[in-house]
Amino acid sequence: MTLLGKIMVYMVKVTLDDETLSALSIGQWQMQVYKGCKSPNATAALPTVWYAVPNKDFSNSIESKWDTPYGGYFSNTSVTAGVTVNTSTNQPMQPGDVITLKSNGSTQVSTTGGTPGAFSFLSEKTETWTCGMLVAPDGKNASPICAFPQYGAAGNVIEPYEKVLILFTQAQLDTGAVVQTALTKSVSCTLSTSEPTISVAFNINKGWETMGNPQAKENPVNFNLAPDLIIPPA
């Protein structure tokens, strides 16, 4: 799909020393990237793998870059860790838009009746589906960042939140996989229009180095992703 409305470019630069790069080149290592959002229904949602970089593409400097066109999707799956959402039912969206899942399974986007700065999701179905936002990483297809339960009698409102969580793992996951817990150390980076770029470093033994950036924090093993990435609006 083609997303609309490019606004701002954000980037996290990850530096790997030679020892770490050599260690990560052996086996099935993967750099997974997760992205944040805000919603009044935050506690019901879980993050999904936004995208993953295989170790054949690792180098001493890896850039995670994205801009801010968005989309919305519906999936006939559950919000359960280990499930991979199906995003074939999707539409490009702008902040303030409302996307509706029709009873026949099609979708419709309206530019009126929504919440300013947010994306609204409605359903005419009589069973529970899943919904969420799509964002396109630089040079990649748009992919889901979150999974919310979508009920026929209640909507969802989701806001952008330019925060990412990055980790290296040998637990291979597909884009769109719903994840609850990170089993390896990770780093969370909060970006903004005034601070759109941040640099961090990873060492295979020591873990993450935030390099003095107050925008970044290292997370321990067995870290619960959702409370960090999916939060209520201010």
Query: 96 in a domain, yes or no?
Result: yes
Is residue 2 in a domain?
no
Does some domain include residue 88?
A: yes
Query: Is 4 inside any structural domain?
Result: no
Q: Is 204:24 a contact under the CB 8 Å cutoff?
A: yes
* Total number of domains constituting the chain: 1
Per-residue pLDDT 10s for the chain (234 aa) are: 444 445 688 999 999 999 999 999 999 999 999 999 999 999 999 999 999 999 999 999 999 999 877 999 999 999 999 999 999 999 999 999 999 999 999 999 999 999 999 999 999 999 999 999 999 998 788 899 999 999 999 999 999 999 999 999 999 999 999 999 999 999 999 999 899 999 999 999 999 999 999 999 999 999 999 999 999 998
193 in a domain, yes or no?
A: yes
- Tell whether 98 is covered by a domain: yes
Is 86 domain-assigned? yes
Please report how many Cα atoms fall inside a 13 Å half-sphere around the Cα of residue 118, on the Cβ side: 18
Which residue range(s) make up the domain with 150? 10-231
Flag whether 3 is in a domain.
no
Residue 158, C-beta contacts closer than 8 angstroms, at least 6 positions apart: 37, 38, 39, 118, 119, 121, 132, 133, 146, 148
pTM score: 0.94
